[in-house]
Amino acid sequence: MSSLRNLKPENVFYYFGEICKIPRPSKKEGEIREWLLNKGKELGLATKQDAVGNVLISKPATPGREAVTPVIFQSHMDMVCEKNTDTQFDFSKDSIQTEIEGDWLTAKGTTLGADDGIGMAIALAILADKSIEHGPIECLFTVDEETGLTGAAAIEPGFMTGKILLNLDSEEWGEFCIGCAGGKDTIVFLDIEHENIPENSVAYKLILKGLKGGHSGCDIHLGRGNSIKLLNRVLWNAYQDFDVRVAHFDAGNLHNAIPREGYAVITVPQDFAKDFENYVQAMNLVFKEEFHTTDPEVELTLEPATMPGKIWEEFLQIDFMNAVYVCPHGVQAMSQDIPGFVESSTNLASVKIVDNKVIKIVTSQRSSVESKKQAVVDRVTATFSLIGAQIEHGDGYPGWTPNPKSKALALLKETYERLFNQVPEVKAIHAGLECGLFSTKYPDMDMVSYGPTLFGVHSPDEKMLIPTVQKCWDLTVEFLKSLK
């Protein structure tokens, strides 16, 4: 791990370094939760957790500021666990290996976890710093944000008492977020029937890698390649022309990440093998041309494989390929009110084989308009209903309605302009934030989201712009000092 000791602000990067040492996959936050509980007690601060594992640490006001409006700093414990296929790393036990590249902090072949480890680090530094002037403070650390926002959904009224909530989970310094899209997952299950492999067949492993992937909310409008879509496109045409048969398909990992890599194990009649190999080479060049700007490192390759025991039944293969081909992916509608803002989207996120018996397809829909979100969910549902698939839906989460008259926003803007002599941007985002769920339990809560600049979140390209962390810290400290 690259040393973070010389990075500023030292207190924030100290805590970020400690957080990087602790495994924290979604739904497996036990170790980081215990660390937070112990840290609160070490600091001599009131510390508690709720039934689902959310942690709240409270710090009393500095003398003379007891009447100041109480503030909640909110971040989430879990991180997206994505790595390159050639990286040996176990997210359940290994520490994130950070690297410094100029002004950027990144990790070796994995997600960095600055989403939202840096938010946690800023909150902890506020709790530990005795020099800051402030009113009453609460720091809320939620569980399972990345796979459903279930920690925020379970927050009970009265668990926190602050009147202003500052969500430290945004990714563009200089922007204040006051609204976000809602989301819902659609999960598809197809039973696998197998049949024997035709005689005189050869087996291959078809591999697609090198795509950038990214956050399925923040990056969905960038036109990046989807490994599921591209692999299926190759197979769909190869079935027509070369009688290619599928034995296995695996691509993508997380519902909120655009799939970057994937592979399929296939068989081809010996007589078509050479033509198929030439076709794959040609499609590799096609993809490089089609994605020369968004995904210049895309690579489609073919290698010999051990002959599988069985292949998918032919009608199943046809149904799967047709449904995946027509399944929507990407931006579905742009906002009619905010220029350049994605209103609705869907992410064809992963295809996994469960116990060699079931094909599990995960998709994720987002929209800032609740009725439009349901319409996209229904469209995905209709697509897979045509092939008789079993379909389930996640609970979903609401969007966060913007409040441009927010008093916290006004003070943050004034403070930002005074410190940096620039005008910040106020916006809503297409990604999901926990604020929408908080607003259902705390309807009068004044909420704003901000944070340092992050790039490539939800992918191994994730990195954080180091100088913006200092600016974020300075803004936070001055906001607390200025709040009445």
Residues with active-site annotation: 78, 145
- Inter-residue contact 377 to 393 (CB < 8 Å): yes
Give Cα 139 to chain centroid, integer Å: 22
What is the distance in angstroms between the CA of the first residue and the CA of the last residue of the chain?
42
Give Cα 99 to chain centroid, integer Å: 21
- Inter-residue contact 73 to 134 (CB < 8 Å): no
Q: Say how far apart CA 203 and CA 269 lie, in whole Å.
A: 9
Q: Say how far apart CA 314 and CA 317 lie, in whole Å.
A: 5
- Inter-residue contact 222 to 256 (CB < 8 Å): no
SS percent in the chain: helix, strand, coil, step 5 = 30, 30, 40
Sheet holding 55-59, edge to edge: 46-49, 55-59, 137-142, 71-76, 164-167, 446-449, 175-180, 425-429
> Closest Cα to residue 298, out of 227, 238, 204?
227
State the Cα torsion 127-131-134-136 to the nearest 10°. 40
Q: Say how far apart CA 187 and CA 207 lie, in whole Å.
A: 24
Q: Which amino acid is at 2?
A: S
Give Cα 460 to chain centroid, integer Å: 12
> Closest Cα to residue 77, out of 12, 124, 14?
124
271: DSSP letter: G
DSSP bridge pairs for 392 = 187
Helix (H) or strand (E) holding 469: helix 466-482
- What does the block give as tokens for 426? 């106020």
